[in-house]
Amino acid sequence: MSNHKIALIKADIVDRVYERVGFSRREAEKAVEALFDQIKLELEAGENVRISGFASFYLKDKKARNARNPKTGEPIIIKARRVLSFKPSKQLIDAANES
């Protein structure tokens, strides 16, 4: 097993949906886009997204904090922000460890 594989891109996902489900390429592209758009909309609305057997996506609030610029040593403040977190399901972890 190599850790240096080329990234899977959205076009690859569309191709795989097209091949497995039997949609036309255009329908497969619309389905993949609709899924990604819905995940984005839910996250933008502050909702968590849980795809059973795959993963959960959720936003976490990070507080502002003091830090130092590593180049200059100058103190800086990192602003409060929201970060997107991804937690794989046990099934996904198990499948990744099987190969």
- Domain borders along the chain are 7-46, 48-99
In the chain the beta strands, taken as DSSP E runs, fall at 49-51, 55-62, 65-68, 75-78, 81-88
Which CATH number applies to 7-46?
4.10.520.10
Please report which confidence band the pLDDT of residue 3 belongs to, taking 50, 70 and 90 as the band edges: low
Mean pLDDT, the chain, integer: 92
The residue whose two tokens read 């990744």 is: 96
Sheet architecture: strand order including 81-88: 49-51, 55-62, 81-88
- Gap between the Cα atoms of 62 and 32, Å rounded: 30
pLDDT over 60 at 65, yes or no: yes
pTM, rounded to two decimals: 0.74
Going by pLDDT thresholds of 50, 70 and 90, the confidence category of residue 54 is very high
Pick the CATH number of 48-99 from 2.40.50.180, 3.20.20.100, 4.10.520.10, 1.20.140.10: 4.10.520.10
